[in-house]
Amino acid sequence: MNQPKPPRSVLDLLTMKKEGRKIVVLTAYDALFARLLVDGGADLLLVGDSVNQVLAGAASTLSATLDQMIYHGTAVCRGSGETLVFVDLPFMTYQVSIPEALRNAGRVMQETGAHGVKLEGGSHIAPTIKALVEIGIPVMGHIGLTPQSVHALGGYRVQGRDPRAAERLLEDARAVEAAGACAIVLELVPAPLSGRISAALTIPTIGIGAGAGCDGQVLVTPDMLGLNEGFNPKFLKKYANMGEEVRQAARAFAADVRGGVYPDQEHSFD
């Protein structure tokens, strides 16, 4: 039986939704993990501004910079082969004005080799999405819990629980689609609402903490691998325990070095 071909353009994402094929998305921040995740079957790699937390140790995504995202985006594109790569536009690189958003997104596309950018927001950010799409930059939207607005939202909380908030999210999703986005991330949204939004849109939805009704799913790779041991939200399934494996490997290396066992003759040159 022939395996379906992975997406090679943003148009393929629409085809996958029509065919009912789930879209597999993982975050990547370097060429090494990009190659591993592609080999593992990822359909799309997202260079998330989550890098500012999981690798740089910041408390939130808010201090991520454009240069930081371009650096990591370039590295991921070097290891991703033909797999689709989208790069987050960090906080305050697209909110000030549409011309500034065009300039910054253009830098990302020109300097990284990515296939598109992702930005957060609903109806209020739709004109910016439209302007980016009109100059040929594919855009992935992001609604629900938007980490760049975490303080205004009152923390990391599920969004759209009451009927009025649910209707606003549906309106936001439709506005993002109408502006020309090729996909939209739904983060921390009740599963029934995510299913309703997914059914209402022609573009695919990518869920994180948004239930099984989305057209695809994304997880932050260090979280999925069990490297970020202190992060245990309800939606996260850890597919490995690499934090402990790394710790054990480091202990074994330290013991060998201190005991004079490594390097031995096998690992030395004559």
The domain limits of the chain are 10-239, 241-270
Q: Which of 76, 107, 77 is nearest to 90 (CA)?
A: 107
Rounded average pLDDT over 99-125: 98
The domain defined by 10-239 folds into: TIM Barrel (3.20.20)
Catalytic positions: 187
Rounded average pLDDT over 229-257: 97
Residue range 213-232, pLDDT digits in tens? 999 999 999 999 999 999 99
- pLDDT for residue 6: 84
- pLDDT for residue 2: 61
| Integer Cα distance of 96 and 100 in angstroms | 7
Q: Which of 14, 30, 38, 46 is nearest to 219 (CA)?
A: 46
**Per-residue pLDDT for 186 more than 60?**
yes
Sign of CA dihedral 198, 29, 8, 24: negative
- pLDDT for residue 180: 98
**Per-residue pLDDT for 1 more than 70?**
no
Q: ∠ CA 160-166-168 to the nearest 5 degrees? A: 110
- pLDDT for residue 5: 79
User: Which DSSP helix (H) or strand (E) runs through 46?
Assistant: strand 44-47
Average pLDDT score, the chain = 97
Quote the percentage of the chain above a pLDDT of 90: 95
> Is residue 192 very low, low, confident or very high in pLDDT (cuts 50, 70, 90)?
very high
- pLDDT for residue 3: 65
